[in-house]
Amino acid sequence: MSLAPLLNASPAIQLHTAAACVAAVSGVYVMLRAKGTASHRASGYAFSIAMLLTAITSFGITSLSPGHYSWIHILSAITLVSIPLAIYYRRTGNIRKHAANMIGPFAGLIIAGAFTFAPGRIMYQVIFGP
pLDDT tens digits along 44-89: 999 999 999 999 999 998 876 667 777 788 999 999 999 999 999 9
**Mean pLDDT of the 113-125 span:** 91
| Domain count across the chain | 1
| Half-sphere exposure in the Cβ direction for 38 (13 Å, CA) | 0
Q: How far apart are CA 50 and CA 30, in angstroms?
A: 13
Instruction: Give the predicted TM-score (pTM) of the model.
Output: 0.89
**Mean pLDDT of the 22-40 span:** 94
Mean pLDDT over all residues of the chain? 92
Whether 57 contacts 18, CB under 8 Å = no
Q: How far apart are CA 126 and CA 104, in angstroms?
A: 27
Task: Look at residue 113 and give its three-state secondary structure.
Answer: helix
* Of residues 100, 58, 107, 112, the one with CA closest to residue 80: 58
Q: What is the pLDDT at residue 88? A: 98
Domain carrying residue 95: 4-128
Whether 72 contacts 58, CB under 8 Å = yes
Helix (H) or strand (E) holding 96: helix 95-115
